[in-house]
Structure formats: structure tokens, C-alpha cells
């Protein structure tokens, strides 16, 4: 019998089998809705809350596509990665009073680089690739922070979501100089703080098939990614405290993705063990900096 892993759950204790028994090599990364519900049921039985968060990239304008996303999310908070140089001043007014409601939308703003320009010479696009001048990087990031704070005030958190999820590691130590306290990239983080003063919280399931037709990756693949990450957290195969992040791009979002998101919102918002976190809860250090 393989070793069990012990997780403290309040006053109770739950024992899980070793991860290798559950997540075998070559396991398909697809799942169904019932698998998501079953996984959330496991969290509930363990007395734990499965935290989720939603990052949407490339925002600049309060257009009809963003409004559709906000409508689909309803009361689920969105962490909106805004391109500072392209941000329309009217976006701030929209986020305060979206068309669907008189209530402010539960939307926090993250910094999506500066102008979403590719500075990489090779095939891997990046606004902050290796070899770029540190002075230029600091200049871009500081300008982005200043513009977002000016447009969005307290809604803007000092958190960088770099375009294409790429920032050369040599630049991580520069973020604090630009007033940033957090970073969000893709895939499970290695450590919560890659450099002192910077908290990393990533996204784990990108709903867009970038290698394909830029449409939806498909229900089975999307659910597979979510269930796999939740299960790995529950079994402490990886950092269980990093909330499971969903990534959308409202500018290229197709109808299939919207149908999936509506059902994901419905399923998770009616399950006692699932909780969506707003940007301030995902990056509490960033909020403390603002206070």
C-alpha cells in the first residue's frame, strides 16, 4: 500500500492516497461536468474551499465584447488585465457602472505590460524578453503603473500580468522599483514569492486554442484542466494555496466559450465548496500597499 498524505483540515484530518496513484503518467486531460462536481464534492468532504479566480487579458476599451464578458460573469469577480498605453479613459467609468447594473462590477485591474509590443527577436513573443534594457523595462512598467492608477484609482492593483505571460526572470527584481507587488503568469507557480516583495499567482487553464483556430479549446479539455489542477491541489501535489486560475480573452471569445463560461459560473456558484476570489483577495499584499 502506498503512503498516504495527511492534510490538516481544521480540527478534522483527512487522508488521501499518494498522488502517483491518482494522477498517472499519460492520464488524459479531459473531464466532464460530473467530474468537476465530484471533485468539488471531495473538497467539501475534506472541509476545504476550492478557490478559483478569473483573469481576462487585453482590455483597453469598454466595448460590447467586454460587456458580454461582464454579463456572463454576473457576480463572479474578474481580474481584468488592462494594456496601459491603450486604455480608454471611459473604461474606468464603465467598470464603475457597467450597463447591466447600477452596482459597481466586481472587477479589479491588473497591469498588462505597457503597450503589448513584442520586443523579442526570436519566435517567442514577449514585451520583456532577455536582453532588453533594464532601464527600458523599468520605464515601461512605471509608466504603466502611473497610467492605471490615474485611470482606475483603487481598482488598479500593483500586479503585473505580462503580455504572452512572459517576463525574463532577470527583470523580476525590478518590479518592486516600479511599485509592483505581484505578478501573474501561466502554469502552477514554483514558489509564492519568486523574489522578495513579489507574490505570484498564476492562471492554469487558458480557454483559447491559440495553436488552432483561436476558438474554444473545448469543454472536455477545459474541464480536464480545471479538475486536474483542483485535484493536484487537494492532494498537495503542488502548491494547494494557489487558487485555480481561468484565463479568457474577451476580444476573441466565441459562442462556445461563452456557453462554457455560463455553465461554469452556474455550477461553481451553486456548490458549497467552490469560491471565486476577487483580485484583492488573490493579491492581498497589493491591497495593503494601497492602504
| Chain residues in the site for Zn ion (CB under 5 A) | 57-58, 163
244 touches 224 (CB < 8 A): no
> Cell 484609482 appears where?
153
| Orientation angle between helical segments 33-45 and 255-269, nearest 10 degrees | 30
**Least distance in Å: CB of 28 to Zn ion?**
29
Minimum gap (Å) between residue 179 Cβ and Zn ion: 21
> Which H or E element spans position 58?
strand 50-59
Q: How do beta strands 78-82 and 107-111 pair?
A: parallel
Compute the least distance from the CB of residue 108 to Zn ion, in Å. 17
**Least CB distance to Zn ion at residue 164 (A):** 6
User: 8 forms bridges with which residues in the sheet?
Assistant: 13
Closer CB to Zn ion, residue 181 or residue 248? 248
Least distance between Zn ion and beta carbon 249 (Å): 7
Closest to Zn ion by CB, 144 vs 224, is 144
Residue among 66 and 227 whose Cβ is closer to Zn ion: 66
* C-alpha closest to that of 141 among 181, 109, 170, 175: 175
- The three three-digit cell numbers of residue 160, written as one number: 503585473
Output 151 or 208, the one with its CB closest to Zn ion. 208
Identify the three-state secondary structure at position 41: helix
Amino acid at each position: 500500500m502506498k503512503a498516504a498524505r495527511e492534510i490538516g483540515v481544521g480540527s478534522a484530518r483527512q487522508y488521501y492516497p499518494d498522488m502517483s496513484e491518482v494522477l498517472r503518467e499519460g492520464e488524459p486531460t479531459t473531464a466532464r461536468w460530473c467530474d468537476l462536481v465530484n471533485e468539488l464534492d471531495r473538497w467539501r468532504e475534506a472541509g476545504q474551499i476550492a478557490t478559483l479566480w478569473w483573469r481576462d487579458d487585453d482590455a483597453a476599451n469598454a466595448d460590447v465584447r467586454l460587456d458580454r464578458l461582464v454579463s456572463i460573469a454576473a457576480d463572479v469577480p474578474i481580474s481584468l488585465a488592462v494594456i496601459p498605453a491603450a486604455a480608454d479613459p471611459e473604461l474606468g467609468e464603465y467598470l464603475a457602472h457597467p450597463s447591466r447594473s447600477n452596482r459597481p462590477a466586481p472587477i479589479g485591474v491588473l497591469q498588462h505590460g505597457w503597450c503589448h509590443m513584442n520586443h523579442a527577436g526570436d519566435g517567442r513573443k514577449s514585451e520583456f524578453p532577455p536582453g532588453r534594457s533594464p532601464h527600458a523595462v523599468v520605464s515601461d512598467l512605471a509608466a504603466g503603473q502611473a497610467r492605471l492608477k490615474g485611470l482606475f484609482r483603487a481598482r488598479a492593483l500593483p500586479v503585473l500580468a505580462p503580455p504572452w505571460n512572459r517576463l525574463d526572470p532577470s527583470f523580476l527584481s525590478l518590479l518592486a522599483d516600479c511599485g509592483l507587488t505581484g505578478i501573474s503568469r501561466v502554469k502552477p507557480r514554483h514558489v509564492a514569492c519568486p523574489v522578495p516583495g513579489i507574490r505570484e499567482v498564476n492562471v492554469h487553464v487558458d480557454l483559447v486554442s491559440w495553436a488552432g483556430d483561436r476558438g474554444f479549446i473545448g469543454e472536455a479539455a477545459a474541464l480536464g484542466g480545471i479538475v486536474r489542477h483542483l485535484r493536484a491541489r487537494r492532494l498537495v501535489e503542488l502548491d494547494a494555496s494557489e487558487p485555480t486560475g481561468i484565463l479568457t480573452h474577451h476580444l476573441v471569445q466565441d459562442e462556445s466559450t461563452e456557453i462554457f463560461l455560463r455553465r461554469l459560473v452556474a455550477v461553481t456558484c451553486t456548490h458549497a465548496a467552490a469560491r471565486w476570489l476577487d483580485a484583492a483577495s488573490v493579491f492581498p499584499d497589493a491591497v495593503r500597499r494601497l492602504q
